[in-house]
Amino acid sequence: MLYLLDTANLSEIRKAYDLYPMDGVTTNPTLIANEQVNFIDHLKEIRLIIGEESMLHAQVLSNTAETMIEEAQYLLEKIGGNLYIKIPATSQGIKAIKILSQKGIKLTATAIFTAQQALMAAKAGAAFVAPYVNRIDNISGSGVSVVEDIVRLFDTFDINTKVLAASFKNVQLVHNSLLTGAHSITVNMETFDMLIEHPLTDWSVDQFVKDWELQYGRGKTVLDMI
């Protein structure tokens, strides 16, 4: 199972890589635009923070296969390391995925809302497919059910493509997506932090410290024990 952070914000990426067992970062044009930066320079900054081995997913903008292919090759020239090119699951995107995967380029099919889109993207050669769980829920669909169907189709047809569940606004959606067998998740910083937070954990730790300090003194730790 892989943890990825869905952001282009450098301080969030530094924080996540400091605290959590991260496997990569996903970006998209909105996340990049929000940072108001030079795109290539910013991707290089992210690469420096996460290292060469961590996955970095960067999205193309064009709506034609020919230009998507050029964009993908440009990104590969400019950004080293473990780079995945995000391509929307449109018909032109499928064409670009078919061609680029033949060249050995690592691809993530994105903006996926149905299992059939995911299946075709996998057949075309995508390494990851990214269903947008919260966005599906926001149109009265069931994002988790779509993830479940994708996992089931990939298992049925022994497809190696991995599900990178994306678009989350709460921990329950993350939890239920993983329960269906999603291979990886990409989550914004706020929701990622909530994966580990629990008030009863904090309360329990406070109680341990209070009981300990009654016996050994305020502020004492293991380091003070002889």
Phi and psi at residue 219, in whole multiples of 5°? Answer: 80, 0
- Binding region for ligand G3P (CB under 6 A): 6, 26, 28, 110, 132, 134-135, 166-167
Residue 65 or 87: which CB sits closer to ligand G3P? 87
CA separation for the pair 111, 118 (Å, rounded): 10
Residue 82 or 212: which CB sits closer to ligand G3P? 82
Is there a catalytic annotation at residue 95? no
Residue in 15, 86, 103, 210 annotated catalytic: 86
Residue closest to 129 by CA, chosen among 95, 89, 92 = 89
We find the least distance from the C-beta atom of residue 28 to ligand G3P, in angstroms, to be 4
We find the least distance from the C-beta atom of residue 77 to ligand G3P, in angstroms, to be 23
**Residue 75 DSSP symbol:** H
Residue 72 or 166: which CB sits closer to ligand G3P? 166
We find the least distance from the C-beta atom of residue 117 to ligand G3P, in angstroms, to be 14
What Cα–Cα distance (Å) separates residue 191 from each residue in 62, 76, 81, 139? 30, 30, 27, 21
Residue whose token pair is 């239920």: 176
We find the least distance from the C-beta atom of residue 156 to ligand G3P, in angstroms, to be 26
* Token couple for 42: 């910013």
In the bound state, the residue with its beta carbon closest to ligand G3P is 167
CA atoms within 13 A on the CB side of 157: 14
Vertex 43: Cα angle to 166 and 79 (nearest 5): 110
Residue 189 or 209: which CB sits closer to ligand G3P? 189
Q: What amino acid positions are annotated as catalytic residues?
A: 86
